[in-house]
Structures are given as structure tokens and as C-alpha cells.
């Protein structure tokens, strides 16, 4: 989590900017994007015309002061709604400014095709260009390391002061423009055109410049527009009824009734809620390519999580060597060491570390070095073979890998899988360890035990997700026994063992075919298809460019558990929009009981039964309703920006809670508020 991001809702600089924008946004070309508030603006313009007509001599619309007050209150309603959107945008722009500081022009050492190094500006770098960075240099553009290894300071982006290691090859090769190289030297291949980096795209998104309304937001906008149209018809049809009842209604009363009945509260806050949702995602150090991704995260049914680095600490450690009956311990250790020389994973390195710690004969240790010089070539680990190893110059073939892969190699050569090793594999797996079987010339030599350590608090996290109604699925390359042990210990609902890249894709498709929304996180090129297929795909910032392009979110912190936080942000966004819509529609009821009796009670005494608030006069009733309608918007701005508190208590419980607070509260609060305002207004009438 970043440490350089303010948590204050209202900073003086942002407030000043938002106040200016509140007036700028009165431009009809901008207001028409919000149908509800655009109709309020039309009503405000009509009231301004009424005030002018009274000054010109009109006498049938009441006093000038009364009409002027109604006009000013309606103008304030517009300004409050614009302020809500503007303050949300200002917060986003503040975030963008901090990001933009990392995108300042920096010198770049471009490597030309002839090998010559040329100093150019970072803005001149194009996709597929290659540049070099040394200790102290700022990385000029987004790219992937093609040569070298370096320690990099990413605090300008993530806020984390601890440096990270990025290296060529693998899933930790991606670097971001604006970060700083602290040590060593790297060659980087540019992966984006100028102005199209992830930070550039994020800056545009958080500023609101390229914010697209989400499908849910569009649907709600259409619904609110329909409500507005209905009340236009209602207000128009009141005119003949009023004339028939000999109860003339002033334009001010018509406009006030209309503005109070349409859902102005949610209409004024709708954009602010959407912008604030993306802002909260950014404050969690998550770059979202669209608001839809955040929104979708709130509806997620299934979470796919890699075991390594997410559920477990990440680096499995070799803890024991178990040779097959008939194979000496020292010979087995020698084979295990040789098979790990090509394995540059932390697991492979831990095997070498364990061999140095155990008590083997000195001559055996010496023979490790001697045999190393006899290596013909190494065999890298792949997801397909699930083994690694070496081939010696004399033809000796030593492999290390998963039990099923080693078993297949042995059986294909006509050799059996020893019973004692098979039993040891089961024992290790049952205890939550990972067995790696070593084979030499297609004969099983023994098994190496690796142990995972489950992160603290993971069981509680998964229980929290379960209360949200979300199914958690652990993805691992481990055998089913090991996977089952860790899954039970961590508290996940399901697991995919011995997973290949295509297994993730198939599982996602299966769940989606059953009508569920799926989220997953990945960092490698092999994760890209699954990230693209998932409804919410979160790529690690340290991951490959393919992964970042495939996902619709990028986690700058490279925290595999961030999915949990993203889901909560999405749910909070949906809840905030839903609860404020409920509140807005509910409080229109109270305003109906305030204004309608005030309009007709003199001409139609039978309406006295509706006059449950007993307001001072028709004029005070109208003023009280429009004042409440205006002031409720700024009162709710902090809630729109911060979001409704989310608790994982189940969908039905959340619905009941929110209906009680925002539904029933939306009915009761306006009655109290309008009555209090009426008492104050009556003092001046």
C-alpha cells in the first residue's frame, strides 16, 4: 500500500478547484450528459426568467423575493451536484499528478542496431527500441528486461521503499517508466508507444478524461431519465386539475414540485460514485483499465488464486532427502544436486543449500565439483515436462520432477516405480509437503521433500470471502494429496492440482458456462489467455507485458492477495450506488407530502389528511422542500466518496440492513428535515 497518498476527503486545493468546476459544469453541453440534473437546470433557467418577468411588471407569480429564493436554491442544487462530481475528479487528478511526476522527460541511452549508444529523450523512444540503464538511472519507458538483472526502486509508483529485483526471462522481467535502477545494468526493450504506457492510460482514466460509464451506470441513468419523464407528465397534468379546482399554481410551485419529485439526490451523486470507485482502486495501488472492471469485481462468484506466493509464502524449501532402498544416501544427494543445477527456481536453489548443510562425506562433496565439469548440457524445467536435470558427457541422464512425470519416464523405459518411494511420496504429500522424485538413467533414485508455509491469516481471509458468497479455488502444480492438505489447511473451497496453463482457462470457461463470474491473478505469459478469459483479470506489475495487456487490472504492489481487496472495493461501489439510489427515491415520498397538500389544501380541504407535517404555509412548504432537496446532496458527498461500509454478512443480510438504514431512513429523515427547515423559514415569513 502506498504511503504517499492522502486519505483526507477534502483538501483545500481540491476544494478550491472543485468550486471553480462547479460553475464551469453549468455549461448545458456538459449538463446534458446527466438527464436528471439537466432538467433541473432547465427549471432553474425558467425561474430566472420568472424573476426577470416580475421585475418587468408581472404580478401573477407571487413576490420577487420568493421567486428569487426558489431560483437561488435551485441554482445551489445544481452547484452542489456539480461539486460532488468535481471533488471526485479533483481527487483523481491529484492522484494523476503524483503519477505524472514519474513521467517527466528523462534521458535514455538508446542502443542502435550497430551497437552504438545514443542519448535521446524518453519521449523519442518507440515500441521495440532497446535502451540500457545503469545504477542511478531512471528507466525511460515501460518495457521488458532482455539482458541483465537489477535492483529497482519502484517507490515513485507503489509508495513502497523496499527495492525489488527484476531480471531477464521468467515472470519478473517487466519494468515501468519512471522507476529507478539502484544497482547493476540492464537492457530493456520498449513495449509501448509514447503516451500509451500503463501510467499514461491511468492518468487519463483517473482524471476522468477517458472515463466511460459502466453498463450498470448507464442502465441506472436510463432508469432515472425514465423517472424524470414520468414526473414531467405528472406535473403537466396537474395544471388542468388545478384550473378545474380553481387553485392556480405558480410556475415556482410547479418547478419546485418537479425538482423535488425527480431523483435529484442520486442524479447529482451518480458520477461522483463511479469516479470515487476508481479512485479507491487506485489508492489500493491497482490500475484499472475501465470502471467496468471495478464494478464487475463486486459481482464475482469465483476467485482463482495461485498457491505459491498467494496462499503460501512462496519459496518452498527442501527439508529432507529420502533415497530409494538400495541407493546410498550420498549417491542420492549427488544425483539430487546435479539435477538441480539447471533449476534456477528458489526450490532448486534450496536443494543445493540443503546438500551443503547435511553431513555427507567430504569426498562426495568434492565429487560434486568434479562431476559438474562433466556436464554435457542441462535440461530446463517446463510446464509440459515438469522435470529438470542434466545430461553428463558419458550419457548419464539425471532428472528431477513431479511424481507422475518421473513415474512415466521410468515406466516408459520398462522400469518399475519402487514401492518404498511411492509410499514416501504419499507420506510427504499427506503432510502438506511437495515430493520431487529423482531418476537416473530412467531408474528412480529417491524423493526430495519440499515444504510450503501457509501465510498467517489466510484461513480468516478465505472465511471472509465465503461469507461474501465467493468460492475460492487454489491453483497449484502440486500433486492432489499435497494440494488437498494445503487447501484444507488454508480453508479454500476447491483446488486444481497438477495444473497446466490450459487448466486455468478450462476451469474459468466451465464456471462461466454455469453463469458465474470469475476473477484471477497472474504474472506470466502463460497466464495471459486465462487473464483475458476471466471476467476480472489482475496482472502483476512485475509480470510480463503479455500478462499486463491481457488483464483488465494491474496491481502495482505485486501482491497476490490483492484480489480480495479488489472484490471488496467492487462490492462497496455497487452497494454505494444502490443504497444512495434507494435513499433518493425514498425521500421523494416525504417531499410529495410536503408540497402537494400545500398546493391544493386551500381549494380542496379534503386533502387535509395528507397534510401530516402541518407546515406553516404553502410558500414555506415549497421553500422547505427545495432547501432540503438541495442540502441533502452535499451532506451525502462524503458517503459517495468514501463508500458505504461493507461487511461480509451475506447478500440477504446486507439487503435488509441497507433497506432499513437507507430505505426506511430515506422515508423518515426528510419528514424531520423538512419540518425543521419549515420552522426556521416561518420565522422570516
Residues with a catalytic annotation lie at 306
| 553-555 β-sheet, strand order | 286-288, 553-555, 536-540, 518-522, 302-306, 471-475, 494-496
457-462 CB contacts, 8 Å cutoff, 24+ apart: 458/311, 458/490, 458/491, 459/489, 459/490, 459/491, 461/561, 461/564, 462/490, 462/491, 462/492, 462/493
**Residue in 609, 573, 634, 541 with CA at minimum distance from that of residue 300:** 573
Question: Please, which residues have CB within 8 angstroms of residue 173's CB and are 6 or more apart in sequence?
Answer: 144, 145, 146, 166, 167, 544
SS (H, E, C) 385-400: CCEEEEEECCCCEEEE
Number of Cβ within 10 Å of residue 311's Cβ equals 29
The x, y and z cell numbers of residue 335, run together, are: 544425483
What is the rounded CA–CA span in Å between residue 538 and residue 551?
5
Number of Cβ within 10 Å of residue 258's Cβ equals 22
Q: What is the DSSP letter of 307?
A: T
Helix ranges (DSSP H) in 101-181:
155-158
Task: Give the H/E segment covering residue 153.
Answer: strand 143-153
Rg of the chain's alpha carbons, rounded to an integer?
33
**Residue in 468, 472, 464 with CA at minimum distance from that of residue 496:** 472
Q: Are 124 and 312 in contact (CB under 8 A)?
A: no
Q: Checking DSSP bridges between strand 164-167 and strand 143-153, what pairing results, if any?
A: antiparallel
SS (H, E, C) 533-555: HCCEEEEECCCCHHHHHHCCEEE
Amino acid at each position: 500500500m502506498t504511503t504517499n497518498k492522502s486519505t483526507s476527503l477534502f483538501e483545500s486545493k481540491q476544494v478550491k478547484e472543485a468550486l471553480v468546476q462547479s460553475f464551469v459544469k453549468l455549461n448545458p453541453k456538459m449538463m446534458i450528459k446527466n438527464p436528471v440534473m439537466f432538467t433541473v437546470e432547465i427549471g432553474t433557467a425558467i425561474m430566472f426568467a420568472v424573476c426577470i418577468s416580475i421585475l418587468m411588471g408581472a404580478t401573477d407569480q407571487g413576490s420577487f423575493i420568493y421567486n428569487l429564493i426558489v431560483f437561488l436554491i435551485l441554482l445551489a442544487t445544481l452547484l452542489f451536484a456539480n461539486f460532488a462530481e468535481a471533488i471526485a475528479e479533483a481527487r483523481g487528478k491529484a492522484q494523476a499528478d503524483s503519477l505524472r511526476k514519474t513521467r517527466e522527460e528523462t534521458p535514455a541511452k538508446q542502443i542502435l542496431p550497430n551497437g552504438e549508444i545514443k542519448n535521446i529523450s524518453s519521449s523519442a523512444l518507440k515500441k521495440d527500441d532497446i535502451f540500457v540503464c545503469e545504477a542511478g538511472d531512471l528507466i525511460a519507458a515501460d518495457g521488458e528486461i532482455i539482458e541483465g538483472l537489477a535492483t529497482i526502486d519502484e517507490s515513485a509508483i507503489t509508495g513502497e521503499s523496499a527495492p525489488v529485483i527484476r531480471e531477464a526471462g521468467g515472470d519478473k522481467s517487466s519494468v515501468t517508466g519512471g522507476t529507478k535502477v539502484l544497482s547493476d545494468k540492464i537492457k530493456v526493450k520498449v513495449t509501448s508507444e509514447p503516451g500509451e504506457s500503463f501510467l499514461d492510460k491511468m492518468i487519463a482514466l483517473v482524471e476522468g478524461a477517458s472515463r466511460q460509464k459502466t453498463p450498470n451506470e448507464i442502465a441506472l441513468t436510463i432508469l432515472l431519465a425514465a423517472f424524470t419523464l414520468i414526473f414531467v407528465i405528472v406535473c403537466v397534468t396537474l395544471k388542468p386539475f388545478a384550473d378545474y379546482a380553481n387553485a392556480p399554481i405558480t410556475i415556482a410551485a410547479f418547478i419546485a414540485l418537479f425538482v423535488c419529485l425527480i431523483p435529484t439526490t442520486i442524479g447529482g451523486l451518480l458520477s461522483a460514485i463511479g469516479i470515487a470507485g476508481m479512485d479507491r482502486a487506485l489508492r489500493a495501488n491497482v490500475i484499472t483499465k475501465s470502471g467496468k472492471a471495478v464494478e464487475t469485481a463486486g459481482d464475482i462468484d469465483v476467485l482463482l488464486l495461485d498457491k505459491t506466493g498467494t496462499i503460501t509464502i512462496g519459496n518452498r524449501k527442501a527439508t529432507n532427502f529420502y533415497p530409494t532402498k538400495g541407493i546410498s544416501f550420498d549417491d542420492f544427494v549427488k544425483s539430487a544436486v546435479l539435477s538441480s543445477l539447471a533449476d534456477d527456481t528458489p526450490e532448486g536453489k534450496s536443494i543445493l543449500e540443503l546438500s551443503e548443510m547435511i553431513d555427507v562425506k567430504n569426498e562426495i562433496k568434492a565429487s560434486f565439483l568434479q562431476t559438474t565439469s562433466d556436464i554435457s548440457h542441462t535440461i530446463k524445467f517446463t510446464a509440459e515436462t515438469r522435470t529438470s536435470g542434466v545430461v553428463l558427457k558419458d550419457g548419464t541422464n539425471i532428472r528431477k520432477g513431479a511424481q507422475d512425470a518421473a513415474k512415466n519416464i521410468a515406466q516408459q523405459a520398462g522400469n518399475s516405480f519402487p514401492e518404498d518411494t511411492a509410499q514416501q511420496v504419499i507420506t510427504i504429500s499427506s503432510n502438506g509437503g511437495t515430493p520431487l522424485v529423482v531418476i537416473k538413467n530412467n531408474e528412480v533414485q529417491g524423493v526430495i521433500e519440499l515444504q510450503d508455509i501457509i501465510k498467517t491469516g489466510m484461513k480468516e481471509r478465505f472465511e471472509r470471502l465465503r461469507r461474501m458468497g465467493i468460492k475460492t479455488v487454489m491453483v497449484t502444480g502440486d500433486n492432489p494429496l499435497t494440494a488437498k492438505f494445503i487447501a484444507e489447511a488454508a480453508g479454500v473451497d476447491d483446488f486444481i492440482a497438477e495444473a497446466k496453463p490450459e487448466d486455468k482457462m478450462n476451469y474459468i470457461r466451465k464456471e462461466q458456462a454455469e453463469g458465474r463470474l470469475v476473477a484471477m491473478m497472474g504474472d506470466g505469459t502463460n497466464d495471459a489467455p486465462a487473464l483475458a478469459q476471466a471476467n476480472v483479470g489482475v496482472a502483476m506489475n512485475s509480470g510480463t507485458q503479455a500478462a499486463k495487456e491481457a488483464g483488465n487490472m494491474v496491481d502495482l504492489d505485486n501482491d497476490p492477495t490483492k484480489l480480495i481487496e479488489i472484490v471488496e472495493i467492487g462490492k462497496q461501489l455497487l452497494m454505494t450506488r444502490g443504497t444512495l439510489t434507494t435513499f433518493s427515491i425514498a425521500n421523494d415520498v416525504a417531499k410529495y407530502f410536503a408540497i402537494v397538500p400545500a398546493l391544493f389544501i386551500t381549494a380542496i380541504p379534503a386533502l387535509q389528511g395528507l397534510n401530516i407535517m402541518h407546515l406553516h404555509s404553502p410558500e414555506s412548504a415549497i421553500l422547505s422542500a427545495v432547501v432540503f432537496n438541495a442540502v441533502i446532496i452535499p451532506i451525502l458527498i462524503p458517503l459517495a466518496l468514501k463508500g458505504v461500509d461493507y461487511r461480509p454478512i451475506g447478500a440477504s443480510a446486507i439487503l435488509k440492513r441497507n433497506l432499513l438504514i437507507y430505505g426506511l431512513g430515506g422515508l423518515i429523515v426528510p419528514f424531520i428535515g423538512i419540518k425543521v427547515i419549515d420552522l426556521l423559514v416561518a420565522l422570516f415569513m
